[in-house]
Structure 1
């Protein structure tokens, strides 16, 4: 059975809140769902008639996204890109341009500059991942994968910050908590 978009883990509420902004930007260039995993966030955008490039190193994840999108999103709205963003011998974003880049639950600090460069002027970054407060709730615990206090604000200084949050949130009823930081920012 091919999964339906409704059976995929729910998308981020930030995407619902900023859907109109993303839709206005994505008329010519696609949105990059960087390190997309299950594709839950990009699939939400694609189901709203936004072109999305799903990028991940895991081919099985990309295959599942392909199977899901066949029945759930308008034709021609998805592109799959198998890429390892952590390969030190490449710079995969160097010749790319996107209307927006979304990043969830992923942190590889050497990518920040490439992410910023790959977004068109006036484009958006929507970034959310765990902070150094998170290990009290579970994995990840490695500081290489955890944002420091105000790190996203510092990385995107000089950009117009539309939303910023850093703190502890509930994962849902009976599911515990998590410590996250979120930013939505527009490139000058």
Structure 2
């Protein structure tokens, strides 16, 4: 029987992946979040981004393929007094419904086929925060198909208005900055 993504991630989370940090693209731009609304942390892992969204007062959902990660997130959210609806699901089989979220955050998960569904899932004025590895990164997945090409997100999401993009590639001092990681914020027109 082949090993599935769920099996691999469950094994990693059972092995004790430490508590994760929220992505820099979100934490540096909290001022862009709406005062209220519905938010989704997609491929949430232990829900670091979901916990930031819930603490900001948004009705927050967190989805991940790993039931083990979802169980750990539920325990963390309860300990922090945060209301988060956490769900184990296959994100490719069950993408978010059109116009269902005001904010979507995706960190360190990349699937090109899912990008149109993410843009469509935003309500008018909704924001997509995305942070993941680029193909120049020495970290992250070994499969280059799961890493961003140069300036890929802005061109792959043409229906969204670009609010922020950072991809330093190999400019300047390679020992400084966020190397091999791209950050993006796009907004669905109102």
Measured against the shorter chain, the TM-score band is: 0.7 to 0.9
Describe how 1:1-188 pairs up with structure 2 within 5 A. Answer: 8-24=19-35, 27-28=36-37, 30-74=38-82, 77-86=83-92, 90-94=93-97, 97-134=100-137, 137-167=138-168, 178-188=179-189
Distance apart, 1:139 and its partner CA: 3.5
> Would the aligned equivalents of 2:116 and 2:157 in 1 still touch at CA under 8 Å?
no
Q: Return 5+ residue gaps in structure 1 as ranges.
A: 1-6
Structure-2 separation of matches of 1:64 and 1:44 = 16
Partner of 1:4: none
- CA 138–15 in structure 1, closer or farther in 2 if over 3 Å, else same: closer
* TM-score (normalised: structure 1): 0.79
**Structure 2 Cα separation of the partners of residues 155 and 96 of structure 1:** 19
Contact 1:140–1:146 (8 Å) recurs in 2: yes
Deviations 1:120-156 (A, max 9, x none): 010000001111101xx23322111011111101022
Compute the displacement of 1:100 (Å). 1.0
| Further displaced range: 44-53 or 104-113 | 44-53
Deviation of 1:159 (Å): 2.2
Contact 1:47–1:72, Cα closer than 8 Å, also in 2: no
Residue deviations 1:76-123, cap 9 Å, x none?
A: x3111211023xxx3432356001110000011110111011110100
Cα distance in structure 1, aligned partners of 2:99 and 2:86: 14
Tell me how large the CA RMSD over aligned residues is.
Answer: 2.3
Structure 1's consecutive aligned runs of 4 or more residues displaced over 4 angstroms after TM superposition are none
